[in-house]
Amino acid sequence: MAAFSTADLVDELGDAVQSVSLQFQNIGGHPRFSGPIRTVRCHRDNALLKAILSTPGDGAVLVVDGGGSLESALVGDLIAALGVEHGWAGIIVNGVIRDRVAIGGLPIGVKALGSNPRKSSKTGAGEADVVVSFGGATFRPGATVWSDEDGILTDGEV
């Protein structure tokens, strides 16, 4: 992937990009990642996102809107490793993850609000490839997301 910085991109593109105001933690082994957006919306249940990360990612970033819940982890090291295996560039979780040390050693971008060792349920509840919004930004499937140490940007309108 070509080197980029979100600060340079937002200087260059101005209002053509949205910047996420939530203070995400950079947890994955790739602090800088970008790609086309795929999405999941779910609440304390991670079977759907696990199934999606088990299909070819082709360099996409899975944006998971967990509603900001800090109560249970939506991604752990095994699920993150599925993303690596299937060619995903990154996973952004509006929620929490677990196994943060192991995930830090994986060659994938993972951002989340924090961590909680409690696991989520696995019923498959949720929606895939829908428009999701958090932190003042709207993520549309097929739009682009850029993420680095400074923050997260996406193109398209709020």
Residues lying near ligand OAA in the complex (CB under 6 A): 46, 73, 76-79, 98-99, 119-120
Q: Which residues pair with 115 in a beta bridge?
A: 97
Nearest residue to ligand OAA, scored by beta-carbon proximity? 76
Q: Give the residue with the Cβ less far from ligand OAA, 38 or 50.
A: 50
Nearer Cβ to ligand OAA, position 64 or 79?
Answer: 79
Pairing mode, if any, of strands 33-41 and 144-148? Answer: antiparallel
Strand, helix or coil for residue 13: helix
- Encoded amino acid at 145, one letter: V
Looking at the Cβ atoms of 81 and 143, the one nearer to ligand OAA is: 81
Cβ proximity to ligand OAA: between 50 and 140 the closer is: 50
Contact between 13 and 91 (Cβ < 8 Å): no
* Torsion sign, CA atoms 93, 130, 145, 91: positive
Say what the alpha-carbon torsion angle 21, 145, 38, 124 is, to the nearest 10 degrees.
-30
